Amino acid sequence: MSLSAEVLASVVARETGTGDLSVNSRFTKYDFFREFADGTGADQAQVVYSDNRTAASGSFTVLLSAISDTRNGASVLVQFSAVKVIMVKNTHATHTITLTGAFSGVVKPGGVFLLVDPSAAGASPSSLFFETTAGATYDLVVIGEGTVT
């Protein structure tokens, strides 16, 4: 199995204000793009894990070095040795998600937490701690170096 991945983020903003005699406008466009090839090293990754999940309790841990998954009908273990991309999208209408540990942030309803570390070492695949309300829903995507067994 080989992997290729692209991470994209884009912001387009327009501000318009009116003065006494003129209209002032400002346009901001920013794009982020990072491509990962198959392998180990800078700008490389080997495995991806993705899932939309529902929190069973208010506090829980996702162990990034050993995530259970089902692929092609079989139970597998996704084991990250380096994390290159982690994305948490809060899909719940009212519950906030707080991330602590190696990756920290507050993800409000409809918000996204995104970390990209394209370095050869990547980020440590330590535990990702969640604090939220039981029933909170979120999408989780992790890309990095590792194995699927």
Instruction: Note the pLDDT tens digit of each residue in 14-25.
Output: 998 877 777 788
Mind listing the pLDDT tens digit for each residue in 25-83? 889 999 999 999 999 999 999 999 999 999 999 999 999 999 999 999 999 999 999 99
Query: What sign has the CA pseudo-torsion 112, 139, 78, 41?
Result: negative
pLDDT at 22: 75
What is the residue extent of each domain of the chain? 42-148
| pLDDT, mean of residues 122-127 | 90
Q: Is the pTM of this model over 0.85?
A: yes
Contact 45, 84 (CB under 8 A): yes
pLDDT at residue 140 greater than cutoff 90: yes
pLDDT at 91: 98
Q: Which run of H or of E encompasses 116?
A: strand 112-116
* Strands of the 23-38 sheet, one edge to the other: 5-18, 23-38, 44-45
Please report which confidence band the pLDDT of residue 113 belongs to, taking 50, 70 and 90 as the band edges: very high
pLDDT at residue 145 greater than cutoff 80: yes
Please report which confidence band the pLDDT of residue 90 belongs to, taking 50, 70 and 90 as the band edges: very high
* CATH class of the domain at 42-148: mainly beta
pLDDT at residue 1 greater than cutoff 90: no
Task: Classify 11 as helix, strand or coil.
Answer: strand
pLDDT at residue 93 greater than cutoff 90: yes
- Give the span between the Cα atoms of 112 and 89, in whole angstroms: 4
